Amino acid sequence: MTELYASALHLDRKAVKALKITDPYSLHRVVYSLFPDIRTEAEKHSHIQSGIVYADQGGDFHGRKVLMVSDRPPMERVDGQYGDVISKPIAASFLD
């Protein structure tokens, strides 16, 4: 079984503005930028999944939080400078 990672992305108000998060697609772009792209062009156009799922927990005046599960660890910051990512491996026994 592939190792999985549970992660949380915390973005402050300044980061949300700098990353231009205004709609679901812009959030998708930011989340996927945290992970190396391991699929080929052919796999991207087929039904091969990305190995990343996320849930937007929404935000308020102060910032936004996004929860993620992935088959590889994410980077610690968006573009090396925005937000904070906390990531932990999910034990294989957790899913048994």
Q: pLDDT tens digits for 36-93?
A: 988 878 887 888 888 899 999 988 889 999 999 999 999 999 999 999 999 999 988 8
Q: Which two tokens stand for residue 93?
A: 């026994």
Q: Which two tokens stand for residue 86?
A: 């906390």
Asked if 5 contacts 74 with a C-beta cutoff of 8 angstroms, the reply is yes
CA 93 vs CA 1, 3, 28: distances in Å = 11, 11, 30
Amino acid letter, residue 38:
I
Residue 34: DSSP 8-state: T
CATH class for the region spanning 4-95: alpha beta
Extents of the domains making up the chain: 4-95
pTM for the full predicted model: 0.87
